[in-house]
């Protein structure tokens, strides 16, 4: 590794310390292993360089061991501080510019580390400072040291239990025979010490539900239906519900929880155990034969619009007060019956004709006025004929006479469901067919009130 590459690596690692995650209360123990390089040149040693001179001169001054040469462990104390020990080994082939004959190197460090991610609020990268003391062997010479170091950790994986790191440690000693040195380390660390049986990212020590995967906001307890209520306080833990009902649902949002709602899928009223009364008549829909019309309990919720005691469905005149004998329609007055009887004696036809003349129409207009005034009335128009002609022909002609009157009333605006016509042929004469005058009276129409 040349000097330029070494410097780039160092500055890259230094610039990366913006997002670290180190030991925490979740995983307080950390075991570290790796490689180290020992350099005594830039330490103000006599006949060598001044402090930090040729710090990155890897080729000339670094003693790099070919295999894993240190192991360490530490324990998290809290608030970013960790305490630990580290044992390092190496083979020294050069003390700066002075050659060595593969001298033994060994160091036992006691360290106190402070993680800067506590201040930086970072998640995966962690720059840290380290201080402490060491007892170090350089071949047959040993001495005590004071240490000061700086490093960078990077956490791997979702749980960040595995870490790669690089650090530089400066060892200083007051002993004249001691050799001040830098130790550079590159390694991997493993955090452990707490279990997470349910693999929810919350250690058992801090997990109130350690056997069931849960959420951090509920201290490790689950909220299976994601309704914001933890399962242990949720009476319906597998169904999305409301806090008002201890986690149970109110599917129709009528203020009545489903388990107490007889109609849980339809908005209803508390007075009907959650079932609806759509028309607001005080009868719930399931008991209401007419759920969309205000009605009466006596008619199973169906209306009696005219208040005559006959429900609309059976009332032939639902908007006019009537009597049962006329199926809810009013009784017909004698005056109406008499007037229609009178009119029935005024319309006569010529032989073999069913054409209405203007006078006939004026008479029929009186029928129109009666029907218009009494909207509940229905009439039957009966056509008659004299005894001349064949019976089949006479039936058809009588029907045509009744139909011509019907069509005129329809033209005037009377509804077809209020008019019925029928031809009786020569079967209902009012006079004898033996005279011309009698036959003229028989060529007629009659108006008869239909009683529902």
Q: Of 160, 168, 206, 169, whose CA–CA distance to 30 is shortest?
A: 160
Tell me if 355 is assigned to some domain: yes
**Token representation of residue 402:** 């009744």
Please report the pLDDT score of residue 17 as a whole number. Answer: 32
Decide if 55 contacts 182 (C-beta within 8 A). Answer: yes
> Which residue range is the domain that position 71 belongs to?
3-192
Q: Tell whether the model's pLDDT for residue 23 goes beyond 80.
A: no
In percent, the amount of the chain with pLDDT more than 90 equals: 60
Q: What 3-state DSSP class applies to 270?
A: helix
User: Phi/psi at 13 (nearest 5 deg)?
Assistant: -65, -40
Tokens, residue 419: 């008019």
pLDDT at 247: 93
> Distances in Å between the alpha carbon of 205 and those of 28, 77, 223?
12, 16, 20
Residue 271 lies inside a defined structural domain of this protein: no
- Please give the structure tokens belonging to residue 358: 């203007």
pLDDT at residue 13, as a whole number: 35
Reported confidence tier of residue 49, pLDDT bands at 50, 70, 90: low
- Asked whether residue 5 carries a pLDDT value surpassing 70, the answer given is no
Helix locations, 53-186, DSSP H: 58-61, 117-120
pTM for the whole structure: 0.46
Q: What is the DSSP string of 390-421?
A: -HHHHHHHHHHHHHHHHHHHHHHT--GGGEEE
Structural domain contains residue 157? yes
Mean of pLDDT over the chain: 87
Domain C-terminal end among 192, 211, 230? 192
Is 215 in contact with 207 (CB distance < 8 Å)? Answer: no
Is there a domain that residue 114 lies in? Answer: yes
Residue 426 in any domain: the answer is: yes
Secondary structure (3-state) at 217: helix
Q: Are 296 and 304 in contact (CB under 8 A)?
A: yes
Kindly report the CATH number assigned to the domain that includes residue 441: 3.30.1330.60
Q: Return phi, psi of residue 8, to 5°.
A: -60, -45
- Residues 29 and 75 sit within 8 Å (Cβ to Cβ): yes
Q: Would you state the pLDDT for residue 273? A: 93
Q: Can you read off the two tokens belonging to residue 230?
A: 């933890």
Strands across the sheet containing 419-423: 419-423, 379-383, 445-449
DSSP helix/strand/coil, 261:
coil
Q: How far is residue 130's CA from residue 22's CA, in Å, rounded to a whole number?
A: 13
Encode pLDDT of 390-427 as tens digits: 889 999 999 999 999 999 999 999 999 999 999 999 98
Answer yes or no: is 282 within a domain: no
Task: Say which CATH number the domain at 74 has.
Answer: 2.40.160.20
pLDDT tens sequence across 281-331: 999 999 999 999 999 999 999 999 999 999 999 988 888 888 888 888 888
Q: How confident is the model at residue 46 (pLDDT cuts 50, 70, 90)?
A: low
**CA dihedral sign of residues 201, 205, 206, 208:** positive
pLDDT in tens, 341-394: 899 889 999 999 999 999 999 999 999 999 998 888 899 999 999 988 888 999
Q: Tell me the percentage of the chain whose pLDDT exceeds 70.
A: 92
Domain boundary among 132, 157, 192: 192
The CB-side HSE value for 363 (13 A sphere, CA atoms) comes to 20
Cα 219 to Cα 7: distance, rounded to the nearest angstrom: 46
Q: How many domains are there within the chain?
A: 2
* Predicted local confidence at residue 48, as pLDDT: 60
Decide if 126 contacts 146 (C-beta within 8 A): no
CA distance 197 to 203: 8
User: Could you say which of 147, 169, 192 is where a domain stops?
Assistant: 192
Could you tell me if residue 242 is inside a domain? no
Q: What is the pLDDT of residues 67-124, one digit of tens each?
A: 889 999 999 898 889 999 999 999 999 988 888 999 999 999 999 999 998 888 887 8
Write out the E strands in 8-117. Answer: 29-39, 63-64, 70-78, 81-95, 98-115
User: What CA–CA distance (Å, rounded) separates 22 from 89?
Assistant: 25
DSSP H or E segment with residue 146: strand 141-156
pLDDT of 7 strictly over 80: no
52: left (phi over 0), alpha (psi -120 to 50) or beta: left
pLDDT at 126: 92
Q: 22 pLDDT exceeds 60?
A: no
Highest mean pLDDT: which range of 44-48, 192-196, 228-232? 228-232
Q: Is the pLDDT of residue 42 over 90?
A: no
Tell me what pLDDT residue 404 has. Answer: 94
Report yes or no on 47 lying in a domain: yes
16 pLDDT tier (thresholds 50, 70, 90): very low
């Amino acid at each position: 590794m040349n000097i330029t590459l070494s410097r780039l690596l160092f500055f890259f690692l230094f610039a990366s310390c913006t997002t670290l995650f180190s030991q925490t209360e979740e995983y307080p123990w950390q075991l570290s292993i790796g490689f180290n390089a020992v350099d005594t040149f830039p330490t103000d040693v006599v006949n060598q360089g001044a402090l930090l001179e040729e710090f990155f001169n890897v080729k000339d001054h670094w003693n790099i061991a070919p295999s894993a040469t240190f192991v360490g462990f530490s324990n998290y104390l809290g608030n970013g501080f960790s305490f630990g020990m580290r044992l390092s080994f190496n083979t020294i082939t050069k003390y700066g510019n002075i050659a060595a004959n593969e001298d033994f190197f060994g160091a036992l460090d006691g360290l106190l580390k402070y993680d800067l991610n506590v201040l930086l609020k970072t998640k995966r990268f962690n720059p840290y400072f380290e201080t402490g003391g060491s007892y170090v062997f350089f071949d047959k010479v040993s001495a005590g040291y004071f240490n000061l170091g700086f490093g960078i950790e990077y956490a791997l994986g979702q749980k960040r239990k595995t870490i790669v790191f690089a650090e530089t440690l400066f060892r200083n000693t007051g002993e004249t025979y001691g050799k001040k040195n830098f130790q550079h380390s590159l390694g991997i660390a493993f955090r452990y010490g707490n279990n997470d049986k349910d693999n929810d990212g919350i250690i058992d020590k801090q997990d109130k539900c350690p056997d069931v995967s849960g959420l951090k906001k509920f201290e490790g307890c689950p909220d299976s239906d994601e309704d914001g209520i933890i399962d242990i306080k949720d009476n319906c833990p597998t169904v999305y519900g409301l806090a008002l009902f201890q986690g149970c649902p109110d599917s129709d949002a009528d203020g009545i929880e489903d388990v107490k709602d007889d109609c849980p899928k339809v908005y209803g009223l508390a007075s009907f155990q959650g079932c609806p009364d759509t028309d607001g008549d005080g009868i719930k829909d399931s008991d209401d034969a007419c759920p969309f019309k205000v009605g009466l309990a006596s008619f199973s919720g169906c209306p009696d619009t005219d208040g005559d005691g006959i429900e609309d469905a059976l009332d032939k005149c639902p908007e006019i007060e009537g009597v049962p004998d006329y199926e809810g329609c009013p009784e017909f007055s004698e005056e109406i019956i008499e007037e229609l009887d009178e009119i029935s004696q005024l319309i006569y036809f010529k032989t073999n004709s069913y054409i209405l003349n203007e006078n006939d129409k004026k008479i029929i207009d009186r029928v129109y006025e009666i029907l218009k005034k009494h909207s509940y009335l229905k009439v039957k128009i009966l056509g008659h004929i004299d005894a001349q002609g064949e019976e089949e022909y006479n039936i058809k002609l009588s029907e045509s006479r009744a139909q011509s009157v019907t069509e005129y009333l329809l033209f005037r605006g009377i509804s077809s469901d209020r008019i019925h016509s029928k031809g009786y042929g020569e079967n209902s004469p009012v006079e004898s067919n033996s005279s011309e005058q009698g036959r003229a009276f028989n060529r007629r129409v009659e108006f008869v009130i239909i009683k529902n």
